[in-house]
Structure formats: structure tokens, C-alpha cells
Amino acid sequence: MELPTQLEAKLNELLKRYPHKRSALVPMLLYTQDQFGYVSDQMIEEIARRLELNVLQVTETLVYYSMLRREPAGRFHLQVCTNVSCMLRGGYRILEHCQKRLGIGHKGTTPDRRFSLEEVECIGACTGAPAMQVNYDFYENLTPARVDELLEKLHSGVQPPPVPHTSGALHPRHPDELPVISRRFGIPDSCTLKVYRQHDGYKALERALKIKPEEIIEEVKQSNLRGRGGAGFPAGVKWGFVPKETDKPKYVIANADESEPGTCKDRPLMEFDPHQLIEGMLIAARAVDAHQGYIYIRGEYRYVMNILDEAIAEAYEAGYLGKNILGSGFDFELCTHTGAGAYECGEESALMESLEGKRGYPRIRPPFPALVGLYGCPTVINNVETLSSVPAVILKGGKWYASLGTPKNGGTRLFAVSGHVNRPGIYELPMGYNLLKLIEVAGGVANGKKLKAVIPGGSSTPLLKAEECDIAMDFDSLAKAGSMLGSGAVIVLDEDTCMVDVARRIMRFYAHESCGWCIPCREGTAWLRQMLDRFHAGGGRSEDIPLVSELSQNMLGKTFCPLGDAAAMPTISIVKKWRHEFEEHLNGRCPYKPAEVLAGADGK
């Protein structure tokens, strides 16, 4: 089959990236869709032929990923986020405005095929809420008037420039901030190798190449650097599990599938400082003697992936990647790999399944990735923030890094603060920083309202009441309080927020993202979504309140991956701490305002 020249070149290049052809499947499908607007039966057959798969294998993988389409979308595909952070700042209002202006509903297309519209889950623009994407471009801090202006320009065939960077990533530094991994944010051309070198770039790699691999691991252990993706497992300990003697190749993977609602801190790390991530991966690879790496990045972050690809090309040209790096005899190859819309792929074993060209189903563990990971080989997989912290650890020492935080919680943390605050943004503060002070760093609760609750670490973490928020933001302190630090995504809720509505929206997300493999998760999230929708709409019954808790408890600890727990834990905490709000809904109406501020009430 003859393809457009650019697409043909891309498909051929993808085939060269992987030791197994099937790994190219999801990227091939997404780039095909970029070219034609959808994935046709003819292209499914062509991709199957090239990868030596059958049509069924390609089709069953395609339908798993939410970004992939079998029918054409409009020329301008509007994807409006209504997840928690956007909901709290008027996301539903933006969606309804788009529907009225375009005269179409969810997944609808205008008769002239100029526009299509889709309500989507979190797109990683939480500190710029409410937000949408038009094709791959981000538009943030929206109001109805800004949407009108955007639609008018799009209708004329002109796509306005998107936001230049993640909203809230650049701001005047608060005196308490401690820039370590964000210290190059805002420096002109910080994403380039030239600027990175001017600010200590690749000096940590030079040191790592001169010391023994076990010394690197020991330094990381001393730093008390714990996984920044959510679990908080010590990074040095994880690297130490990788066997030294094996005849199998070893891999290093950066988990850039940033999909936890409320979380958008990896996005600026990659857009402002991609070489820091590359250097961190190189040091990790040196520590475990790996020679191939992949950056698995969520499909919505296309412009970020382009930045990473440019940085990788610079690193190859300068001798920081490839063969005999800096004359050390150490080799390391690196490339990006795009996802295509699946929250489940943020779980490390599901991510590896996806990278192998399959549905992102979690694996049963043990064995763990350090022993049996990508392609059945030993694998180190860490979050972007974790790996971006490694150069500072090696350059300045593990003990120095550990001293920045609290015992067993070394270093700093990028906190993405969203929701009802005056200055939503991404703030780098010491581990263990007080949560109430963090809210003040973000300008305090918006509009002079009182604090009602906080989601302290992304939508999967148990909520804290206002009176529980005088607490240190580290893994151990939050665990003692019955919650989790998670991804460091702090979502602030004011006194007018309906907690039933928050529970409803959280559960809707997990029901949508459940891969369907485990019955407790598949059935439990669907039942709870329906029940909470009915409850918030005024159709709840008194016996539903304990039933919500019971269904959630039945999911807890009974699924192959943490998604069931992620759906259950915030729900259990909301029912337990705000049961009276469920009881107030038994009168047939929500006694609270919708869970959103009147963002742009004047239409400007």
C-alpha cells in the first residue's frame, strides 16, 4: 500500500526502535490517525502486514485506547476536560458553552466536519483549569468569552497559538521554595543542550561514569529519594533489585504517562528541562548496566514528546547517547514512545504491556519488573520526577539531598496545586512542608472562602478535612493520617463544594478508566458511578449510603492493580467524613452550589 511520504518514513523509523516489531503498534496507529483523521480498515490491514500480526490483534489493541478512532473526527477536535480540577473551576460550564455554540454533543461532529467535540478525562492541565485541547494543542484558563474567540478563529481556518507552557509552572518564587529540579524553569531556551550545559548539565553523568555502579546505587539510597509517581518506594532499593549477572538485556523506562487527575508536574519538567531527565536515565542505566531506554509519554503530550525528541537528538550528536559515551566504553540508546489514552498504563506493569504493543493490562506480581520486566527482562521503571532528581543526588551527594527533606523522605517535591486557590501552580518545596502553608504559597483559598477539604496526592488519595490539614507533606506523615502523598497533586476544595458531587466525579473517572480485567473493579466502579450519579441527582435512598461504603470496601485490595483501590479509597473517606452531606441529599436536591467556582462569571 502506498502511503504519504512523511507517514511512510515515520512507520519505517518506528520499526527500527524496538527489538520486537509489535512494540511499534500503538505509535503506528496514532500516527496513522494523525495523517487520515482516523484508523481505517485498510490501514489496520496494512499495519498488521508490516508488524506480522493478524487483523484481530491490531483491532483488539486499537479499541482499548481512548485516543484512537475508527470514525473520522472534525478538522478541529475539541477535547474539554471536566475532571475534578477543571470541574472545580468551571469545566462543565465550558463544555456546555461549546455544545451550545457548535450545536453538537459529546463525540458529535458538525455537518461541515469542521468541528468535533468530546468530553474527556484529565489532560494534564490541572493548574490551568478549566482547559481543553484542540487536536494536540492546549488552551487553558478558559472562560466562555475566550472560547468564543477561539471558535471564531478556528472557524476562519486559523488555529490560535496554544499556551506557551504549563500554566502555573512559572511564577515569582515564594521564599520557602527550594528549586532543585525546577531551577532551570524560566531560563530562556532551557530545553536546549547549550543552556543545560551552562547550568551544570551532564556533570553528574561525568561523575557517574567515573565511579562504580554500586556506588551510584548507594548514593541514591543515602539520598532517601522515594518514587515520585505515587507509591513512594525508595529508588535506590529498587535499582538494587536488578540482578548484576544475567544473560538478558536490561532496560530503563521513564514513566511519563502522567494521568492521575490533579497531576501536571512532569509536563513542565519535560518541556523546560528534558536533558535533566535524559541525564537521570543515563545514570540509572549506568547503575544497573542497562543499554536501552524508553520514555513512555502519554499521547496527549505530543508537543512535549517533540521537545524530548529534539533533546535526545542533541544528546546523540554531543556524544551523551549512543556508543562509547564520553569515551567511557558505556553504551546507551534512548527513544520516546507514545501512549494513546489509558490511565491504566501509568501502572508500571500495564505500561510495559502497552510498550510491547498490547492492551495495557496489569501483570500479576511477583515477579517484579526488576527481575521480569520489559520483554521478560530486568527493568528499572521510574517516574519522570524521580529520574529528574537523580543528577542533583549524584552531583551534590546523597546526604545533601536527604538533608533537604524529613527523615526517610529526602529532597524536594513538585506540588501541583489546583482547585479553589488564588494562584494554581507548580511549586517546588522541601519534603515535609506543611499543607496549610502550601495552600498559602498558592495564594490561599480563592474568593475569601473557607477551606473545606483537600485531596493531598491526586484523585486516588483519601481526602483530608480542613481540620486535618495542619500536616507535613511527606509519605510517612500522610500515611499516619490515613491518606497518601501520591503524585503530589494537591486539589483544594472550598466551603461551597458538594462532596457528593466530588465523589461522583472521581468515581466516574475510575469507571471510565477501568481496564475491565478484574470483576471487583469492573463491576464495582460501574455500580458506584450509577449510584452516585443517582444520589447527586436527588434519587438517593438512605440505604444507599452504607452500600456505597460496602461496595468500595469490596474492591479494596481485591484487584490485580491499584486502580480498584484508587477508586475505593477517596470514596470511603468522603462517605465517612461527610456522611451528613449524603443525608442532606435525601431531600431530593443538592443543597450545595455545583462543585465549581463561577470562573469568568462576567464572560471575560
Query: Per-residue pLDDT tens for 13-36?
Result: 999 999 999 999 999 999 999 999
3-state secondary structure 419-443: ECECCCEEEEEECCEEHHHHHHHCC
Is the CB of residue 410 less than 8 Å from the CB of residue 178?
A: no
pLDDT grade for 232, boundaries at 50, 70 and 90: very high
pLDDT value of position 445: 98
Query: Where does 154-248 show beta strands of DSSP type E?
Result: none
Distance CA 547, CA 55 (A): 43
* Percentage of the residues of the chain whose pLDDT score is greater than 90: 93
Query: Per-residue pLDDT tens for 547-561?
Result: 999 999 999 988 888
Which of 141 and 589 is assigned the larger pLDDT?
Answer: 141
Could you tell me the pTM of the whole model? 0.96
pLDDT value of position 517: 87
The closest of 346, 254, 341, 380 to 27, measured between CA atoms, is: 341
Residue range 576-603: mean pLDDT, rounded: 72
CATH 1.10.579.10 correct for 412-494: no
CATH 1.20.1440.230 correct for 499-587: yes
pLDDT value of position 353: 98
Assign domain 5-62 one CATH number from 3.30.70, 1.10.10, 1.20.950, 1.20.1280: 1.10.10
Tally of CB atoms within 10 A around 598? 12
pLDDT value of position 600: 35
CA 36 to each of CA 15, 54, 70, 75, 319: distance values in angstroms, whole numbers, following the listed order: 20, 22, 11, 10, 37
Decide: helix, strand or coil at residue 533: helix
Is the CB of residue 509 less than 8 Å from the CB of residue 121?
A: yes
pLDDT grade for 602, boundaries at 50, 70 and 90: very low
Distance CA 296, CA 340 (A): 11
Query: Per-residue pLDDT tens for 379-436?
Result: 999 999 999 999 999 999 999 999 999 999 999 999 999 999 999 999 999 999 999 9
DSSP string, 543-595: THHHHHHHHHHHHTT-SSSTHHHHHHHHHHHHHHHSHHHHHHGGGSS--S--S
- Indicate the fold that domain 76-155 takes in CATH: Glutaredoxin (3.40.30)
Query: Per-residue pLDDT tens for 54-89?
Result: 999 999 999 999 999 999 999 999 999 999 999 999
Query: Per-residue pLDDT tens for 110-136?
Result: 999 999 999 999 999 999 999 999 999
Decide: helix, strand or coil at residue 599: coil
Distance CA 287, CA 220 (A): 10
- Provide CB contacts within 8 A for 401, sequence distance 6+: 223, 224, 225, 389, 392, 393, 410, 411
Class of domain 193-403: alpha beta
Distance CA 592, CA 497 (A): 7
pLDDT grade for 604, boundaries at 50, 70 and 90: very low
Q: Where are the chain's structural domains? A: 5-62, 76-155, 193-403, 412-494, 499-587
Beta bridge partners of 335: 294
Least trusted range by pLDDT, from 7-11, 133-137, 407-411, 599-603: 599-603
Whether residue 493 has pLDDT greater than 90: yes
The closest of 238, 241, 252, 355 to 296, measured between CA atoms, is: 355
pLDDT value of position 591: 84
Residue range 210-239: mean pLDDT, rounded: 96
Is the CB of residue 352 less than 8 Å from the CB of residue 371?
A: no
Residue range 321-340: mean pLDDT, rounded: 98
Could you give the angle at the alpha carbon of 457 between the alpha carbons of 520 and 463, nearest 5°? Answer: 70
Residue 38 burial (10 A CB sphere; 0-12, 13-18, 19+): middle
Could you give the angle at the alpha carbon of 489 between the alpha carbons of 217 and 430, nearest 5°? Answer: 55
Decide: helix, strand or coil at residue 119: strand
pLDDT grade for 587, boundaries at 50, 70 and 90: confident
Residue range 339-354: mean pLDDT, rounded: 96
pLDDT value of position 593: 60
Mean pLDDT of the chain: 95
* Percentage of the residues of the chain whose pLDDT score is greater than 70: 98
pLDDT value of position 598: 33
